[in-house]
Structure 1
Amino acid sequence: MFADCLVVSKDFSSNWVIEIKERLNYEAIGQVIVYKDLLEEDYPWLGSLKMGIACLYGDNRLEPTCEKYGIEVFALRKF
């Protein structure tokens, strides 16, 4: 299991698992959800992880699903 990016704050108060893709897609959504669950299980001291997807292109059809599951989308462009 390899998440693209794990951001851990000094005091462990705001930790993120972030998937990086060129375009927001189904794969990225599934990956970040699974990585969050596995990392929280394997490293409970991280606490509750926030989820994010960093992408060049967002997708207006998929962003509501991300919002529903608490996934922050960091997109440079939307289409």
Structure 2
Amino acid sequence: MPALTIRDVPDDQIQTLKIRAAQAGKSLQAFMQDLIAREVSKPTMAEMMERLNRETTARVSATDIVAAIDEGRAGR
């Protein structure tokens, strides 16, 4: 598994992360791995829009719609 190095992180931010890791009962490394895993599991807005487009695209023709309406009216 590749390593990830982040340079120039301010000391106060590192201290906050260490405190949060300790509060979660984790090492800083485990805490950061969880943080990264949570972030990459969330889809981006662009990914969500693509998914919505894919899932909401109707595959019904106007002819199908008119036929369904006519069928409904005939069943009254």
TM-score normalised to the size of structure 2?
0.24
Q: Give the helix-richer structure, 1 or 2.
A: 2
Q: Which has the larger radius of gyration?
A: 2
Q: Give the strand-richer structure, 1 or 2.
A: 1
Choose between structure 1 and 2 for higher RCO, CA contacts under 8 A separated by at least 6 residues.
1
TM-score normalised to the size of structure 1?
0.23
